[in-house]
Amino acid sequence: MSKAIYGVNAVLEALNSHPELIEEIWLNKTTLSGKKYQILEKAKKFGIPLKLISKPDFRPPKISPNTNTQGVVAYISEFIYADLEDIVKNWENKKENPLVIMLDEVEDPQNVGSIIRTADAGGVHGIVIPKLRACDINETVIKVSSGSVFNIPIAKVNNLKHAISFFKEKNLWIIGLTHKSDISIYELDLKKPLVFIVGNEGRGIRKTILEKCDFLAKIPMRGKIESLNVSIATAIAIFETLRQRFYT
């Protein structure tokens, strides 16, 4: 069953990265300019079926009437997940020190989409999510990520513990982000090959996953709240790693 993705940036990124996934594009022909015109031209180039429709009649299937589509909707085949080996190939091809993000039962699509967008911006080499009790790469995730889901390998695994063991065999260090740690993320050497694990919005990282980590680290705070939103915490970890690796 095809998925509907919408918004100028999300559709343009899909066209740039994986045009073979796109089955059809709907465009509001009354606002064809800038990036929308790029979408039109790229769709023609790749032979993707187009529907150019004026605004009063722009009612794409599978889209709520109140959704702000920016006049662009694409229908794609099911999202194709990467393998763990694809993540390895990504850092090997770039000849960079690995940085991987693992999501332990993160369920909110807004958070997942935001994390993927930040990971793309920060040069993360791959994201790992579990098959159960976690958010899939759905229409909301694609929209919130601004299409970054098409720029970074995302692997879905049966067992996060097995994925951790896989990366340990590749000599990556595993860091669990938790406010319960006494060690600040700023005390750690993040130039090493790393996997950051972040946990569920309410429960955090499961105990069985925490036990597999090499280090546990917190993001120090000065206020009364004890924890951050998972997407914000992940962003801080990614860009502190970026700072240590490239800007010191």
Does residue 9 share a domain with residue 109?
Answer: no
Over the chain (248 residues), what is each successive 10-residue block's mean pLDDT? 87 93 91 87 96 84 87 90 98 98 97 98 98 92 94 97 98 97 97 98 95 97 90 98 96
Alpha-carbon separation of residue 101 from 84, 130, 140, 177, 212 (angstroms): 12, 12, 20, 11, 15
pTM over 0.85? The answer is: yes
Does residue 94 share a domain with residue 11?
Answer: no
pLDDT at residue number 65: 83
Q: How many domains does the chain have?
A: 2
**Residue count (the chain):** 248
Does residue 29 share a domain with residue 11?
Answer: yes
Q: Which of the listed residues 76, 101, 132 is the one where a domain comes to its end?
A: 76
Burial of 193 (0-12, 13-18, 19+ CB in 10 A): middle
Q: The domain that contains 148 carries what CATH number?
A: 3.40.1280.10
Does residue 225 share a domain with residue 168?
Answer: yes
Does residue 191 share a domain with residue 122?
Answer: yes
Does residue 220 share a domain with residue 126?
Answer: yes
Q: Find, among 152, 79, 144, the residue nearest to 122 by Cα.
A: 152
pLDDT at residue number 56: 74
Q: Which of the listed residues 58, 76, 94 is the one where a domain comes to its end?
A: 76
Does residue 97 share a domain with residue 42?
Answer: no
Query: Which stretches does DSSP call E strand in the chain?
Result: 3-6, 22-28, 50-53, 72-76, 99-104, 126-130, 154-157, 173-177, 194-199, 215-217
DSSP state of 137: S
pLDDT at residue number 57: 75
pLDDT at residue number 66: 84
Q: Report the C-alpha gap between 235 and 42 in whole angstroms.
A: 32
pLDDT at residue number 32: 76
Does residue 166 share a domain with residue 224?
Answer: yes
Q: Report the C-alpha gap between 13 and 120 in whole angstroms.
A: 12
pLDDT at residue number 1: 58
Q: Which domain holds residue 36?
A: 3-76
Does residue 160 share a domain with residue 103?
Answer: yes
Does residue 46 share a domain with residue 89?
Answer: no
Does residue 190 share a domain with residue 93?
Answer: yes
Q: Report the C-alpha gap between 150 and 14 in whole angstroms.
A: 6
Q: Which of the listed residues 76, 93, 111 is the one where a domain comes to its end?
A: 76
Q: The domain that contains 69 carries what CATH number?
A: 3.30.1330.30
Does residue 166 share a domain with residue 105?
Answer: yes
